[in-house]
Structure 1
Amino acid sequence: MDGTLVNTEPYWMDAETDLIESFGGTWSHEQALELVGNGLIDSAIVLQGAGVRMGAVEIVDELTERVRVRLQKDGVPFRPGAREMLRGLRDAGIRTGLVTMSLRRMAEDIVDLIGFDAFDVIVGGDDVERPKPFPDPYLRAAELLGVDIADTIALEDSRTGLQAAVASQAVAIGVPHLVDLDGVGADAIWDTFEGRTVDDLFAEFGRARSCRAGAAS
């Protein structure tokens, strides 16, 4: 969700910075980039190390609320072409799942603002024990959708998320936003969703499956 579907990563970074500075600490853009795509509890532990004197769950709740308030104030900034891609998938009858490390309540808030029934299932960061980069969130989504993970496409903007997608055995397409995705093992890298269609997804899926079949033979 964050960074792939919507450009909320700057909201999270601002919330992290404000929280750390309220405890007298400092937080750089480079440090914030290292948390992109991480599970929230893992990120909270890093913030504790930066001086935030709160429990990990308290930090997650505080950051989530700060970002929710920002979304209510400034609106949901969709990534170019992402909403249109979702619409195309729904029009084509393709089942979809949202796999995010944000809390489920945050994901539901954003999904409600898309304007149409975009997802069949949502897997939030609080729905699995092991977060990305473990494959568990994607495997859980495939289970809920009732499909083989090998018959799915995962779209990711972060290295951590892409690692999870690759480990799950989904066909993994990286759409980089704030961090470089080279060398993570994506089946394809797209600069943007803009101008892309469901046919492009089908083509990437077919190429990836052919490559895997060839490698196995």
Structure 2
Amino acid sequence: MDGLLVDTEHLWTIAEEELAASYGRPFTPRMKHAMLGHGVDTAVPLMLSMLGVDGDPAHAARFLVDRAVELFRTPGLVVRRPGAPELLTALRAAGMPTALVSSSFRSLMDPVLDILGRDLFTVTVAGDEVARRKPFPDPYLVAAAALAVDPARCAVLEDSTTGALAGLRAGCRTVLVPSVPGLPSLAEVAATTDAALATDAARAAAGAKLPAGARAAPVPAGGHRPAAEDIAELAARLRTVPSLHDVTLDFLRALTATAPQATAP
């Protein structure tokens, strides 16, 4: 969603820069790349660690989500990404079921749906509606089940390697449409997520008091990261295209090579 269909990463960056400034530290592009696609329960520990501060992760998580909600609901700040309206319209015209799958909470997804058009999606899955967020497969497995489609017959479109890893782990045909240059590798995402989830900060961030209607996802213990050879195999399956303009119906049909298909951005 963020960075793929709508241009909202700059809004998250505002919140992240303000949080970093409250600790007297700068928010760097390296931090931004590391956090892309993560849910708050892993993004916050990553950010605090990279800032080198011993901040309250629950407070940090609340600040980021509350500030982002405020920005997302400000008229004119959330805009569609190039190629998104055309792709979504073509998918609907072709009768292809679609799911919007995001690590963002429902309070953040709803303003985006108001802009994109709720009728363009068969199913929507927000980050506070699954047990584990990206880069774990749960969001895409939940979406595939809701669509009644085998994950292997689903095409996942992602703008971050964090989200791409979730799609690949779910067994979906996954396409990366990078929103920024210099994204971390799948192996780097897996390693940093493992390290972040091993911290007390992750549990505190996951348990932070969240906006009304949101529920914290439990942080599982240990054993998240596939073996190195599994990551290499997943990387070999990942497709990359420059923009959404390169994602056509023919491209998606060839990618899945089965019918019916489903698309989950």
State TM-score, norm by structure 1. 0.85
Structure 2 segments unaligned to the other structure (5+ residues): 187-234, 259-265
The equivalent residue for 2:68 is: 67
The equivalent residue for 1:42 is: 42
The equivalent residue for 1:7 is: 7
Once the two structures are overlaid, the 10-residue window that deviates more, 65-74 or 47-56, is: 47-56
CA distance in 2 between partners of 1:190 and 1:29 (Å): 22
CA distance in 2 between partners of 1:45 and 1:24 (Å): 17
CA distance in 1 between partners of 2:84 and 2:174 (Å): 16
Q: Structure 1's 68 and 97: CA in aligned 2 closer, same or farther, altered over 3 A?
A: same
**Among 153, 163, 166, which residue is 2:165 paired with?**
163
- The letter of the residue matching 1:86 is L
CA contact (8 A) 1:123 1:141 kept: yes
> SS state of the match for residue 24, structure 1?
coil
CA contact (8 A) 1:40 1:125 kept: no
> SS state of the match for residue 100, structure 2?
strand
The equivalent residue for 1:121 is: 123
Task: Report the Cα offset of residue 155 of structure 1.
Answer: 0.3
**Identity across matched positions, percent:** 35
Corresponding pairs, count: 206
Task: Report the Cα offset of residue 59 of structure 1.
Answer: 2.9
> SS state of the match for residue 175, structure 2?
strand
CA distance in 1 between partners of 2:21 and 2:238 (Å): 40
CA distance in 2 between partners of 1:170 and 1:21 (Å): 39
- The letter of the residue matching 1:175 is V
Task: Report the Cα offset of residue 85 of structure 1.
Answer: 0.6
Once the two structures are overlaid, the 10-residue window that deviates more, 192-201 or 100-109, is: 192-201
Once the two structures are overlaid, the 10-residue window that deviates more, 7-16 or 187-196, is: 187-196
Task: Report the Cα offset of residue 171 of structure 1.
Answer: 0.8
CA distance in 2 between partners of 1:151 and 1:20 (Å): 41
CA contact (8 A) 1:158 1:179 kept: no
CA contact (8 A) 1:98 1:121 kept: yes
The equivalent residue for 2:240 is: 189
Q: Structure 1's 45 and 195: CA in aligned 2 closer, same or farther, altered over 3 A?
A: closer
Q: RMSD of the TM alignment (CA)?
A: 2.2
CA contact (8 A) 1:37 1:158 kept: yes
Higher relative contact order (CA 8 A, sep 6+): 2
Q: Structure 1's 123 and 82: CA in aligned 2 closer, same or farther, altered over 3 A?
A: same
Q: Structure 1's 185 and 176: CA in aligned 2 closer, same or farther, altered over 3 A?
A: farther
CA distance in 2 between partners of 1:99 and 1:162 (Å): 12
Task: Report the Cα offset of residue 191 of structure 1.
Answer: 0.6
Structure 1 segments unaligned to the other structure (5+ residues): 208-217
- The letter of the residue matching 2:126 is G
> SS state of the match for residue 66, structure 2?
helix
Q: Structure 1's 152 and 180: CA in aligned 2 closer, same or farther, altered over 3 A?
A: farther
CA distance in 1 between partners of 2:98 and 2:122 (Å): 6
- The letter of the residue matching 1:110 is V
User: Per-residue displacement from partner, 1:70-113 (whole Å, max 9, x unpaired)?
Assistant: 23143322111012111111111111111111112211220121
- 1:40-119 correspondence runs (5 A): 40-49=40-49, 50=51, 51=53, 53-56=55-58, 58-71=59-72, 72-115=74-117, 117-119=119-121
Once the two structures are overlaid, the 10-residue window that deviates more, 17-26 or 34-43, is: 17-26
Q: Structure 1's 187 and 47: CA in aligned 2 closer, same or farther, altered over 3 A?
A: closer
The equivalent residue for 2:22 is: 22
1:134 partnered with 2:185 = no
CA distance in 2 between partners of 1:38 and 1:140 (Å): 17
> SS state of the match for residue 119, structure 2?
coil
Task: Report the Cα offset of residue 65 of structure 1.
Answer: 2.7
CA distance in 2 between partners of 1:82 and 1:193 (Å): 7
**Among 232, 249, 255, which residue is 1:198 paired with?**
249
